[in-house]
Structure 1
Amino acid sequence: MKDLTDKQQAVLAFITTIIKERGFPPTIREIGDEFGITAKGAYDHLKAIEKKGYLKTAKNQSRAIELIRQSPMESIPVQATSIPVIGRVAAGLPIFADENIESYIPVPDEMAKGNVPMYALRVQGDSMIEVGIDSGDIAIIEKRDIARNGEIVVALIEDEATLKVYYKEQDQIRLEARNPKYKPIKTKKAIVIGKLVGLYRIY
């Protein structure tokens, strides 16, 4: 694989750091803002890095960046904590989230915030694909019962769990997909059981 330029190494290191901290990659706009360049300039850097074999990008998805090789500037091993994988989450139509533990997965200690309980749920469906969340991904969830507008949450609706973008309205909660073929879910009965803090994907 060809060597990276200094700027490409910096971009790749930034992407690696954000993935370690948040569990998912930055958007092209965030990369541009970090380096004071346009979105097109950021995209051009990504394509150049992709050609050198360090990452993959996908069209029409702002967060569709997959690391293949680690940045030479980020070669220190990451300490990890194991969290339980519990049931499944519907990214589309809600399905029942079984409280049985399926397995355990490691997450970086930077993502595990002290004593805050965390768990993981398996995503099923395509309603969140526009923010880079695909069917089969494992959603890393910080356990909580409150949320702010615009956050991606796990919400229970009559004992069924769904992963959606949360909005509190005057007399109801609106849960929005990030796929135009799905309509918002409007309900008074949704209970927030966690906030998305990262994704775990096996290739």
Structure 2
Amino acid sequence: MELKDIILDYKNRYQLSNKEIAQQFHVTHITVGRWLRGEVKTIQEETAQNMSRVLGYDVQSVLQGTAITLKKPVLGMAKAGYDMFLENDYLGEESVSLEEYQRGDYFLKVEGDSMINAGIVDGSYIYVHQCETVKNGDIALIRIGDEVTIKRYYKDRTKVELVAENPTVEPRVFTSKEAEMLPVKVIGKVLFVKHYL
């Protein structure tokens, strides 16, 4: 991975201006522009340390092509069912690749079997990108009032439908008005699931 790729990913992920990036990395916005154009391919040690602190991984190792292990937190339990609440406890960390590190935000341990046909089983870990919108059919982490669930999400002008991946679990359908009142809100997109034997 090149320096320009690291900076571009960070800029796009957090919707930052060159000036904001410059402030965080303690360089000028002109330097950030040169990085983004690929005019500069190496950085000074002090700058690398600042970048590593902000990004959460060893930038020099990535630039040198050295394999690095990165960690994301397991922030609690998510229920693959209904009428259950998200438990917000730190349960440890899971290893991820650099690409996964840049795409997602945290893991949740799954309880329940409503998403079993999607490979999301009781005791597995889902990796979540925190967001407020997903495409129709995406598997999402959804808040329904105080309850949190993992389901396939479908929305049109008149309704929101949450569909399980288990034939014994009925879909839940909310009118647009009900979805607004409760509320029914996407709080993350499930990127992948991890299983341990």
Q: Do they fold alike, i.e. is TM over 0.5?
A: yes
TM-aligned CA deviation for residue 200 of structure 1 = 1.9
Cα deviation digits, residues 45-83 of structure 1 (max 9, x gap): xxxxxxxxxxxxxxxxxxxxxxxxxxxxxxxx9633211
Secondary structure at the counterpart of residue 110 of structure 1: helix
Residues 181 and 108 of structure 1, relative CA distance in 2, 3 Å threshold: same
**Aligned runs of 1:9-158 on 2, under 5 Å?**
79-113=68-102, 118-158=105-145
Judged with a 3 Å threshold, the aligned counterparts in structure 2 of structure 1 residues 78 and 163 are, in CA distance, closer, same or farther, namely farther
Normalising by structure 2, we get a TM-score of 0.59
Q: How many pairs does the alignment contain? A: 125
RMSD over aligned CA atoms reads 1.8
Contact 1:86 1:97 in 2 (8 A): no
Q: Which residue number in structure 1 is paired with residue 184 of structure 2? A: 190
Q: Distance in 2 between matches of 1:179 and 1:160?
A: 19
Is the CA contact (8 Å cut-off) linking 2:140 and 2:153 kept in structure 1? Answer: yes
Which residue identity does 2:123 align to in structure 1? G
Q: 1: distance between equivalents of 2:131 and 2:69?
A: 21
1:202 maps to which residue? 196
Find the residue that maps to 2:101 and give its secondary structure.
coil
Structure holding more helix per residue: 2
Structure 1, unaligned runs of 5 or more: 1-76
- Equivalent pairs: percent with the same residue? 31
The structure showing larger relative contact order (alpha-carbon pairs under 8 Å, at least 6 residues apart) is 1
**TM-score after normalising by structure 1:** 0.57
Gaps of 5+ in 2: 1-65
Deviation at 1:156, TM superposition (A): 0.6
Q: Give yes or no for contact 2:79–2:148 (8 Å, CA) kept in 1.
A: yes
What residue is the counterpart of 1:55 in the other structure? none
